[in-house]
Amino acid sequence: MHIRQIIAAPATRRIVASAGIVGLALTASACNRASSSDSGGGGGGEAAVGVTLITKDSTNPFFVAMQKGAKADAGKNNVKLTIASGKQEGDDQGQITAIEDAIARGDKGILITPMSTGVNAAIKKARDAGLYVIALDTPPDPADTVDITFATDNRAAGKLDGQWAAKTMAGKPAVIAMLDLFDDKIVSVDYNRDQGFLEGMGIDVADPKKNGDEAKTGTYSGGDYTIVCNEAGNGAEDGGRSAMEKCLAKNPGINLVYTINEPTAVGANAALEAAGKKATIVSVDGGCAGVASVKSGVIGATAQQYPLKMATLGMEAIAKIARGGEKPKPTEGLDFFDTGVALVTDKPVDGVESIDSTKGADLCWGN
Amino acid sequence: MSASSAPSAAAEFSRRRQTPLQQVQHQLHGRPWLSPLFLLLVAFLAFFISTPTFLTPSSMGILLQQTAVVAALGVGQTLIILTAGIDLSVGAVMVLSMMVMASLAQDGGMPGVLALVIGVIFATVAGLLNGLLVTRINLPPFIVTLGTLSIFTAIALLYSGGASIQASHLPRLLNVLGEGFGIGEFRLTWGIVVVVIIYAVMAFVLSQTAWGRYVYAVGDDAESARLSGVPSRRILLGVYTVAGLIYGIAAWILIGRAGAATPNAIPDANLASITAVVIGGTSLFGGRGRLIGTLIGALIVQTFAFGLSQLGVDQQWRVLATGVLVIIAVAIDQWIRKVKA
């Protein structure tokens, strides 16, 4: 075997091994320091409760916001928080590894935005080991894979938009464009927001899990309505713009636009401006860019959701359980724990609770 | 010329032959896996001191389970790097093979054995294709596998339609390597056993057979190996094919471990396998290294990742640590290579 060493390698550069050894020592001591400061950082008397937050990735603004919020709040509940995620969308293995690490570490609970059904087995392993597992943002499939899900009530979010819009239209005929998320697949967030909006307007939605099956004309709580279109914008600016253009082609008299999220709303506004039209736009999400659009008047009202709160309320719940407290229960009438939603608008109406864009900017997520 | 210039460049340091440091250097030269082993022991010690959950039977079981797939891939990668090549298509071949196995069994309704065999054949053929491109068209392995990385990934996506398949819907045989056994809290999986077998077999082949010697010879200097009668091309073709076969077996291990066959599983498999090989002391210039080193290398990476995680350190730090480890490992390797023959 050693014959191969006879044919010597090309001249090697000078690298002193001691540099490597020093590096190693530094790495090792850095680890030690990390541990002592971490474990020593807990509050007086009570042991810190270990919680792991596992997101799908560490770059999506929604997850970044979640991680930031959780980190900032970990101290409050004397939680020793570990942050982990998949390397990218679809990286089941990354989440499985993180779950196993949490079990081995003796954490009391896991907060997870489950990647796919591929992590179900690992979640079960964690629950068998006595960890309390909370899904954030989206329930896993099946929902009882986890102990409970903390998420936004998207139907309630849509409803707030609808109620505000109905009051804002104040009896005028409403000519409505519905800019949905998809038209090639059915996802709950899509129909919950869409149907919630129409319910808020006081329009009969027929099948509450189906977009676009309601009567095209009729009466809403304030007067007559016409639904011009249900177009998919895929949740992005360009999609929102072309969807709105299609709707305007059908009926240039549109004066009320529902959008699935704020990028779609921005695109819809661009189409309206280009056509020289004005309409009231409502949306959902409450990201910081979206709130800024409310302030500038592009969006009339947006329903704000709280990814940070999902993480911090989840941590709080696990800390409570670990100290002998009660487990969280699903919000009444829902199969998940509602992390709340608030309507952000600078034109408040009677009977619909809302916050202004300044307050909304304090609470918003992302950049 | 290089053989004579190296010592003279270092002459000022190495005039006196037997300083303790030189003795160490000499030892390491003969056994390039000694320094990674030392690194591994230091890591164990550091984590043992700093966290109570690290050196427990259950943790050790988890650590081994987490290492299995990358360790298996590392065998194929080692073979290729020993021939002074590199394989960037490792992950793609594994995923392709996994998707073939899973969808044949689920959608094709094929018995587990057949799906498994066809999946492994797919991987083997993929390896053979890499080998053919390297030996027949004389393209650099980096370029070949960079290309096939995209090709195999695309085929896996086209074939599966991007959908993942739940392992629980698959025949037991495809899942069996994820099943466990063990004493008390120390749980191992059959996948780990398979990995150990792969290492034992391939280590024997590399060190005890003519084929193994040829692999080293080709990696050392393909041209002089050819001139001295080594069938270089055939050896290279064999190396890529065997590597493919091993990736196919890794796919089997992964299905059992993952709980689902996903087209974008283990996104960093290529780099992880190369990292394990490099930390394990195998030279990227070919011809020098041992499989045991790769096993230790894979364990080091996972030990740091797991240990830091047990300390509650965010995962970005483990990625950073891996980078530091790679540089340390190569630095030590370079130093060792300066030893006098």
pLDDT tens per residue, range A193-239: 999 999 999 999 999 999 999 999 999 999 999 999 999 998 889 89
- Judge whether B324 is closer than 8 Å to chain A, CB to CB: yes
Q: List, as ranges, residues 325-354 from A with C-beta within 8 Å of B.
A: none
CB contact under 8 A, A23 and B49: no
Q: Does B25 touch chain A (CB under 8 A)?
A: yes
Residue A119 at interface with chain B, using a CB cutoff of 8 Å = yes
* Domain-embedded: residue A201: yes
Quick check: A26 pLDDT over 80? no
A131 in contact with chain B, both atoms CB, cutoff 8 A: no
> Which has more pLDDT, B141 or A42?
B141
DSSP-based helix, strand, coil % in chain B, nearest 5:
75, 5, 20
For position B22, what pLDDT does the model report? Answer: 80
- Which residue type sits at A270? A
Report yes or no on A333 lying in a domain. no
Q: Does position B340 have pLDDT exceeding 70, yes or no?
A: no
Q: How far is B258 from chain A (nearest CA, A)?
A: 6
| E-state strands within A181-324 | 217-219, 224-232, 256-259, 280-285, 301-305
Residues A144 and A28 in one domain: yes
Does A184 lie in the same domain as A68?
Answer: no
Contacts of A64 (CB under 8 A, 6+ apart): A58, A366
Q: Give the range of the structural domain holding residue A293, as residue numbers without chain letter.
A: 154-304+342-363
| pLDDT of amino acid A367 | 59
Domain match, A90 and A162 both: no
Average pLDDT, chain A: 86
Are A12 and B327 an interchain contact pair (Cβ–Cβ within 8 Å)?
A: no
Supply the pLDDT for residue B100: 95
Q: Would you call B65 an interface residue with chain A, using a CB distance cutoff of 8 Å?
A: yes
Task: Give the integer Cα–Cα distance in Å for A276 and B101.
Answer: 57
Q: What is the pLDDT of residue B164?
A: 79
H and E: helices and strands count for chain A: 11, 13
Confidence of residue B259 (pLDDT cuts 50, 70, 90): confident
The answer to whether residues A277 and A166 belong to one domain is yes
In a domain, A335, yes or no: no
For chain B, the first-to-last Cα distance in angstroms comes to 14
Is the CB of B25 less than 8 angstroms away from the CB of A17? Answer: yes
Check A9 against B283: CB less than 8 A apart. yes
Considering the domain architecture, whether residues A125 and A205 belong to the same structural domain is answered as: no
**The pLDDT of residue A36 is above 50:** no
Q: For residues A322 and A51, give the distance between their C-alpha atoms in angstroms, rounded to a whole number.
A: 10
In this structure, is residue A265 part of a structural domain? yes
Residues A103 and A169 placed together within one structural domain of the fold: no
Same structural domain, A352 and A222: yes
Instruction: List Cβ neighbours of A128 (8 Å cut-off, separation of 6 or more).
Output: none
Q: What is the pLDDT of residues A60-90, one digit of tens each?
A: 777 888 898 899 889 888 999 999 998 887 7
CB B257 within 8 A of CB B195: no
Q: What is the pLDDT of residue A45?
A: 57
Do A300 and A205 sit in the same domain of this protein?
yes
A323 touches chain B (CB under 8 A): no
Residues A300 and A163 grouped into a single domain: yes
pLDDT in tens, B286-336: 888 999 999 999 999 999 999 998 888 888 888 898 899 889 888 887 887
Residue A38 has pLDDT above 80, yes or no: no
Does A11 fall in a domain? yes
Q: At B253, is the pLDDT very low, low, confident or very high (cuts 50, 70, 90)?
A: very high
Tell me the pLDDT of chain B averaged across its residues: 89
One domain, residues A89 and A204 = no
Determine, yes or no, domain membership for A336: no
> Which of A8-12, B108-112, B113-117, B150-154 shows the lowest per-residue confidence on average (mean pLDDT)?
A8-12
Quick check: is A170 in a domain? yes
ipTM over 0.85: no
What's the rounded mean pLDDT across residues A13-21?
37
* pLDDT level of residue B91 (50, 70, 90 thresholds): very high
**Domains in chain B and their CATH numbers?**
56-339 (1.10.3470)
Proportion of chain A above pLDDT 70, given as a percent:
87
* A164-205 confidence digits (pLDDT tens): 999 999 899 999 999 999 887 777 889 999 999 999 999 999
Q: Which residue in the set A2, A38, A92 is minimally distant from B265, CB to CB?
A: A92
Q: What integer pLDDT is reported at residue B25 of this predicted model?
A: 79
Reading across the β-sheet that carries A224-232, which strands appear in turn?
A217-219, A224-232, A174-180, A256-259, A280-285, A301-305, A341-345
Domain check: are A209 and A348 in the same one?
Answer: yes
A350 and A214 inside one domain: yes
* Cis ω before A10 (30° cut-off from 0): no
Output the pLDDT for position B105.
93
User: What is the pTM assigned to this prediction?
Assistant: 0.75
Domain count, chain A: 2
Q: How far is it, in rounded angstroms, from Cα B153 to Cα B252?
A: 17
Residue A348, domain CATH: 3.40.50.2300
In-domain check, residue A337: no
Alpha carbon of A271: minimum distance to chain B alpha carbons (Å): 34
Interface-testing mutation among A26, A92, A99, with chain B (most B C-beta atoms within 10 A): A92
